[in-house]
Amino acid sequence: MKARLRLAGIVVLLLALVAGGTFYWNPLWVNDRQIRYHLWRAGVRSEVVNAGGNRIHYFEAAPPDGTPGKPLLLLHGLGSRGEDWAPLIPGLAAAGFHVYAPDLLGYGRSEKPDLVCSIQVEEDAVLHFIGAIGLGRPDSAGAPNPIDLAGWSMGGWIAAKLALDEPALIDRLVLYDSAGITIHTDFPRDSFVPTDAAGLARLMAMLMPHPRRLPGFVARATLRRLRSNGRIVQQSMDSMDTGAGLLDARLSGIRQPTLVMWGMADILIPPAVGETMHREIPHSVFDGVAGCGHLAPSQCAKPVLAGTIQFLKAQPPMQGGEQMLPEDAR
């Protein structure tokens, strides 16, 4: 009996050492597994589809009550992936939406082709994705069946451009801390691909108003991941810097009911940009999230989720107006 207990103790110790070593050497891998496990527990599926000849990974969540749910497509930002929508996906599905959150071309677990993933290339890839999973097709009576579309940062640029280029496909539009119009910045061009701890700290300060100091082993793992995505991120940045596809002169052409939601402490894309978009997009609604930065959809998920659902479910659609969501609502 004592021998068995001793053996069990050794096994437990070895497992603890393996788990601790895995977390130390690759904490982001462990974190990814936790995120995906919680999504799975919430009924969110991880899927892959061939879209326009490219392998696209996506998360999908249907309403838990078994109803079809209105399709809602979520487009992430630069250097991001579908997992970054994890704080919102289950709540949106519970509110009655059939949610799709793809990894954009070149990002996450989607295919990484040897080409520059410009805004136009990404828009084309999203259209291929929409077609591949059967969204936007007319119903049995031939009536249009548009989807709701939300985009965050670079994903907002793609979403707004898609709403302009394919207006019959999009019913309502949500833009979170969106890129897409001329922005004058003074941060270095390589800010999104830091090579050392100081550069990582500067990036974190751009993305959130009160960044926490990362433990050394987490910072090193984060730098490794950023380096692995460095080519696509830098090429995307270079493409956007050319100004191709900027929407300054086109925003007034958006006809869909639109929610512009912004972290009011966003340093990367300041709230003034969101206010400009709100003025230019006819009858748009503006929601500011007090105290939140560029990562509002993940770090301030509670007010972002509530404001998004309120807008998407409003009948008749909300038209115009501004509101401030308090920081203590997170």
pLDDT of residue 26: 78
* E strands present in the chain: 45-51, 54-61, 70-75, 97-102, 147-152, 170-176, 258-263, 285-289, 322-325
Instruction: Please count the other Cβ atoms lying within 10 Å of the Cβ belonging to residue 285.
Output: 23
Instruction: Please count the other Cβ atoms lying within 10 Å of the Cβ belonging to residue 90.
Output: 19
More confident of the two residues 150 and 25: 150
Q: Compute the average pLDDT of residues 134-151.
A: 82
Q: Compute the average pLDDT of residues 264-278.
A: 96
DSSP structural state of residue 65: T
CA distances from 131 to 169, 316, 328 (A): 11, 28, 41
Q: Is the dihedral of CA 262, 268, 270, 274 positive or negative?
A: negative
Confidence of residue 107 (pLDDT cuts 50, 70, 90): very high
CATH number at residue 60: 3.40.50.1820
Confidence of residue 141 (pLDDT cuts 50, 70, 90): low
Whether residue 11 is contained in a domain is answered as no
pTM for the full predicted model: 0.92
Whether residue 179 is contained in a domain is answered as yes
Beta-carbon contacts of 121 under 8 Å, excluding residues fewer than 6 positions away, are 105, 115
pLDDT of residue 193: 87
Domain containing 211 equals: 42-329
Residues paired with residue 152 on neighbouring β-strands, in sequence order: 176
Res. 125: pLDDT tops 50: yes
CA-CA distance, 142 to 126, in Å (whole number)?
23
Whether residue 90 is contained in a domain is answered as yes
pLDDT of residue 285: 98
Q: For the ranges 225-234, 290-299, 311-320, which has the lowest average pLDDT?
A: 225-234
Whether residue 14 is contained in a domain is answered as no
CA-CA distance, 256 to 169, in Å (whole number)?
10
- Residues 221-258 have pLDDT tens digits of 998 988 888 888 888 888 887 888 899 999 999 999 99
pLDDT of residue 25: 56
- Count how many domains the chain has: 1
Residues paired with residue 175 on neighbouring β-strands, in sequence order: 151, 260
Instruction: Please count the other Cβ atoms lying within 10 Å of the Cβ belonging to residue 109.
Output: 16
Tokens of 109: 């677990």
Whether residue 30 is contained in a domain is answered as no
Whether residue 31 is contained in a domain is answered as no
CA distances from 280 to 13, 166, 204, 273, 318 (A): 62, 19, 30, 11, 16
Strand-pair category, 54-61 with 45-51: antiparallel
Whether residue 10 is contained in a domain is answered as no
CA-CA distance, 312 to 287, in Å (whole number)?
13
Whether residue 9 is contained in a domain is answered as no
Res. 54: pLDDT tops 50: yes
CA-CA distance, 77 to 327, in Å (whole number)?
23
Q: What angle do CA 226, 231, 236 make, to 5 degrees?
A: 100
